[in-house]
Structure 1
Amino acid sequence: MHLTRRQFAILACALTVPASQGAAASEDNAVFWQANLADRSIAIFGYERISATLVSDIVRDGERISDQASSVYTDIGPNAPPLRYTTNMKQVPPVLPDLAPTDADDLRRIMPAAAGSPVERLPGYVVALLLMGEGQHSWAPSVEGVIMDHVRSSGKQISPLISDADLMSIWSPPDTFTLQAIGAHQISYLLEKRRQLGPIGGYMETLYRQRRVSEITRLREEIAKEGVVNPLGSLAGPQFKALLLKQVLKIEATKNFLIVPLAVLLGNDGILELMKSNGFQITALA
């Protein structure tokens, strides 16, 4: 099994009152930030897996902000090598027999046939991924893809901060033991969240459309505490963020635009907090 560059962006990823279009950006309600240090200015966009057609206002903001930059960067390049899994998923037993009857019935109803296999055969790891993504619209063309196309059409180059060699040097997918740990408890938890919020992927999509980023972060942290493993393994961890920060600190141009996954930016160990600890002043843009 392997992840393409696009799948990395999606997962870095696998997660209602509409915000007023005229509302001021805040730490809780923004997807663009401004980072300033001395004469350096970096506008930062945190993207999610979502179709550009659903967030036309975010696309407009991204195009406007990118037009003001002289240099544009992203975390990794569009042609990065596939991120391969060596784990044999057949070694991970199905989760359905371990679920309580009510949860098992709900799961059969939600996904009678998923991932090309009957739900009775699916391990907890796969079921968790499917529940986390349920309810999302098709994400092509993606919001970050459309903004990047706009940048290129203006004649600007988009430079990856992390080389392919550095990317592969820190890549370590979840092992079989870790995947086996995603069992009945985690699936029951996700099913209960679904009862409260509706399909989780659709709910997260709505939060992003409304730029309610603090709620996205809180929900992801809660899900992680329940033991739902991030499929990106080490690429969701501190080593990747530290490497990205190291490259961000090397940016020398005066006016810059940085495009990275939202999950990399936010949280106590996210890039924004790491930049603050290195002297940057961070403010919400839009």
Structure 2
Amino acid sequence: MPITRRQFLAVAALTVSVREPRAYAADQEQAVFWRAAMPGRNANVLFGYARIDASLVPDIVSDGKRLIDETQRIIAAFPNVEMTAWDLPRRTLPPIWKSISRPVADELRAALAGLPDGVPIEELSGIEVSWLLMGEGQTPPNPYLGDVLARHSRSRGRPVAFLITEKEIREQFWLPRDPIVLNDTIDEPKIAFLLDVRRRVGPIGAHLEQLYRARRGEEIYRFTAEIANQGIPDPSTFIEEEKAGALAFDRLLGLLDSTDAPTAFVVLPIGILTGETGILPRLRARGCTVTPIV
């Protein structure tokens, strides 16, 4: 059963790594762009990015191009790094159908009925099914939002840098996982939970797309926290997120506190910006003025 990074990055389009939302009194900012300025320093633009079809968010594309033109360089969290997660022969992981009851199996088959012809539904493992459910309904990106903004940036001659390099991802933060152990964490209660969420909001991937189109970053945080708190692994399982996030935050803070650096359009995954442990509240706690651009 080949499960590659390309497959689980499809799910990563809008799923985000989160922490349990305790008594988090978030404001109701409806934004994916923010201005961030340390006292006495120039303001930079922070952009909460998602891997989404650019045609779904023409307003975000337009705003992104305008804000790129207002800044002097582009800084992204990290480059695209293609790394194979697993490459297993078919049937290495047991099919989920052997471990779930008939009612759950019937609902799951109905949910998977829209998969392309040729997908061996009866051989799908628990981890495959969970990621398919979380990504269901996402529009195939052609092109990605990020691709459109990157082309615009190049047309303006904007230099591009990264907070975390490809070498650092490969050598410090890539976290191989035993697929058998990871698959064993997916049981009937977790599949039943995802199906319950699906009954409530419709296909999960499509719901997350709608939240992003509406610029509901905090709601994305709360919704994905609900899933993460059930112990359902998402693609961030393969990254040492705390270490990578700490390094990205430190470097972003240094960038914002620089006295002579050119202004930047900073591209960060929406999931690490919002939420109680996200970059936005942490910047504010360090004295940075962060205001939504609407």
Tell me the TM-score normalized by structure 2: 0.84
Which residue of structure 2 aligns with residue 272 of structure 1? 280
Whether the aligned pair in 2 keeps the contact of 1:27 and 1:284 (CA below 8 Å) is no
Show CA shifts across 1:35-79 (max 9, x none): 11031322111111211111100101111111111121001124x
Query: What count of residue pairs does the alignment treat as equivalent?
Result: 273
Which of the numbers 168, 173, 177 marks the counterpart of 1:174?
177
C-alpha displacement of 1:159: 1.0
Alignment of 1:189-204 (within 5 A): 189-204=193-208
C-alpha displacement of 1:261: 1.3
Paired residue type of 1:171: W
Paired residue type of 2:83: L
Q: Give the distance between the partners of 2:111 and 2:10, measured in 1 at CA.
A: 26
Q: Give the distance between the partners of 2:240 and 2:46, measured in 1 at CA.
A: 19
Which residue of structure 1 aligns with residue 24 of structure 2? none
Which of the numbers 210, 213, 219 marks the counterpart of 1:206?
210
**Segment of structure 1 superposing worse, 114-123 or 29-38:** 114-123
Q: Give the distance between the partners of 2:287 and 2:225, measured in 1 at CA.
A: 26
**Segment of structure 1 superposing worse, 146-155 or 271-280:** 271-280
Cα distance change on mapping 1:275 and 1:8 into 2, 3 Å: farther
Whether the aligned pair in 1 keeps the contact of 2:14 and 2:208 (CA below 8 Å) is no
Which of the numbers 238, 242, 260 marks the counterpart of 2:242?
238
Tell me the TM-score normalized by structure 1: 0.86
Q: CA RMSD in A?
A: 2.4
Q: Give the distance between the partners of 1:92 and 1:180, measured in 2 at CA.
A: 9
Which residue of structure 2 aligns with residue 282 of structure 1? 290
Which residue of structure 1 aligns with residue 97 of structure 2? 96
Alignment of 1:1-286 (within 5 A): 1-3=3-5, 8=9, 11=12, 14=15, 27-38=28-39, 39-78=41-80, 80=81, 82-86=82-86, 88=88, 90-112=91-113, 114=115, 117-168=119-170, 169-175=172-178, 176-235=180-239, 237-251=241-255, 252=258, 253-286=261-294
Residue aligned with 1:258, SS: strand
Greater strand proportion: 1
Cα distance change on mapping 1:120 and 1:234 into 2, 3 Å: closer
Q: Give the distance between the partners of 2:14 and 2:60, measured in 1 at CA.
A: 19
Q: Give the distance between the partners of 1:73 and 1:178, measured in 2 at CA.
A: 34
Q: Give the distance between the partners of 1:135 and 1:254, measured in 2 at CA.
A: 40
Whether the aligned pair in 2 keeps the contact of 1:33 and 1:43 (CA below 8 Å) is yes
Cα distance change on mapping 1:8 and 1:122 into 2, 3 Å: closer
C-alpha displacement of 1:27: 4.3
Identity of aligned residues (%): 33
